[in-house]
Homo-oligomer: A and B are copies of this chain.
Amino acid sequence: MKTVIIGGVAGGLSAASQIKRADRDAEVIVLEKSGDPSYAACGMPYNLFFKDTPVEALYALSLDTIRNGRGIDYRLRHEAVAIDPRRQEVTVVDHEQNREYRERYDFLVYATGNRPAPLPLPGFDDPAVCYFKTLDDTRRVKRLIHDQAPACAILVGAGYTNLEVADVLYNMKIRPVIVEKAPAILPAFAAEIRDKVMEKIAEKGIEFHAGVDVQGKEGATVRTTAGDFDAGLVVVAIGVKPNTGLFAAAGGELGAAGAVKVDQFLQTNLPGVFAAGDCAEHYVRQLGRNSYMPLGPVANKQGRLAGNNIAHRDAMTMFHGIDQTAAFKFFDLTIATTGLNERQLREMGTDFGKIHVDTPTRGSFPGGGTMRTVLLFEKGTGLLLGGQMVGQDVVAKRLDVLAVAVYKQMTVFELAELDLSYAPPYAPVWDPLLIAANQAVKAV
């Protein structure tokens, strides 16, 4: 049995590893276009800060572990340029040796990831304009920062990526200026959460402009509808697009948000072809349908599952989906969400209630902070629909309790009965989640 995997980052390497775990003799070829093996993409903003920590520290595994430890035929700078689904062949360009060849497959895993949405404005082909998607992007931004020490950076787009980048740049004494096209930041979050992020932006004195169109760049000047800004660095992070060109050209069917359409076994419409990760759709349990929410954990899980289903194709397992859980850091704040958000609930016409509580994070023990918890629940039944948190100290792993509650379709009545851990260094005697649940119980 021979499997070819296009793309060797999270989904691709997970699939490869899982096949080899199940069958050490299986032939598994990974075609990775770049010169880097699988890496922790979400760690890229933080790597910028550490001049002496090489970008390669983000590698998930060494090439030696991948090739010799796991027995995967992992080929760097090998780009798949065509899929022939009838012959079950991939055309490959080996950029190392400048040659083209064909690789036959029994199974193919399409794991090409995504790419930043482009901003093709006049002057934006300038070397000071960076995206932040690959290790090569990180190398470029890092070199620019450490070599040129720009005083100011324009961050176009106020999503997770640029908020994380703003945090890091600020700590490197590079003044971030955030410009966002939409009228407000973080549309998937409740106003009660967004307010805390905006307070932090103000507290840090970070220039922030919403409802702004960027018009172009002339020299060091970025022109926008909010005025001109001089900056030695521009980071564009205005969204992502799944890489589906090769797949679609081979007759592959696309689904949600133009990502590769997959069934619950992660099979595509092309025979023997699975897809996983940032190029594929992701089943959202609460929606009961596929959506597109490209994040590291789901890429790894899908890759693992695709590999498993290739190795055990008579007993395939279903991908049971995600609950839209996500978290990011912004200075001393953690912002985290799980489940449905208000925008989705309004679209669905759900009659929902919302409460929020502000609590300390610890008992009588130094070093804690404060946090805010928002719960969304169905009116009448109290079914927990979603939860969001923002605050200091431990937040993301508290949010996980809500992620389980969403997964298990718990009510806020049940949430109020949980026996959560308590000691002064970790929580007040009434855990923030219990306080929130008690509030929600009154509002059902």
Contact = CB atoms under 8 A, between A and B. Distances in A.
Contact of A424 (B46, B363, B364): B46
A363 B414 CA distance: 32
Given A43-B364, A429-B297, A421 B405 contact: no
Given A407-B417, A419-B407, A426 B327 contact: yes
A335 to B, nearest CB: 10
Contacts of A419: 297-298, 321-325, 338, 403, 407
A50 to B, nearest CB: 8
Interface in A389-443: 394, 396-401, 403-405, 407-408, 410, 414, 417-427, 429-431, 434
A275 to B, nearest CB: 19
A330 B414 CA distance: 31
A249 B334 CA distance: 53
A418 B407 contact: yes
A328 B43 contact: no
Given A365-B46, A405-B404, A426-B397, A326 B40 contact: no
A329 interface: yes
A421 B326 contact: yes
Contacts of A328: 423
Contacts of A420: 297, 325, 400, 403
A336 interface: yes
Contact of A421 (B57, B320, B400, B417): B400
B421 A399 contact: yes
B334 A397 contact: no
A296 interface: yes
Contacts of A323: 419
Tally of this chain's copies = 2
Interface string A160-173: 00000000000000
A191 interface: no
A254 interface: no
A300 interface: yes
Nearest to A336: B421
Contacts of A405: 404
Nearest to A44: B364
A297 to B, nearest CB: 5
A58 interface: yes
Contact of A404 (B298, B325, B366, B408): B408
Contacts of A424: 40, 42-43, 46
Given A325-B421, A364-B46, A424-B40, A431 B398 contact: no
Select the residue from A324, A403, A410, A424 with max chain B CB neighbours within 10 A: A424
B399 A401 contact: no
Interface of A: 10, 40, 42-43, 46-47, 57-58, 295-298, 300, 320-329, 334, 336, 338, 363-366, 394, 396-401, 403-405, 407-408, 410, 414, 417-427, 429-431, 434
Nearest 10 pairs between A and B by C-beta? Answer: A43-B364, A396-B426, A327-B421, A323-B419, A396-B421, A404-B404, A325-B419, A43-B424, A397-B397, A296-B429
17 contacts: A40-B424, A40-B429, A42-B424, A46-B364, A46-B425, A324-B419, A325-B419, A327-B426, A394-B394, A396-B421, A398-B400, A401-B401, A401-B404, A404-B405, A404-B410, A404-B418, A407-B418
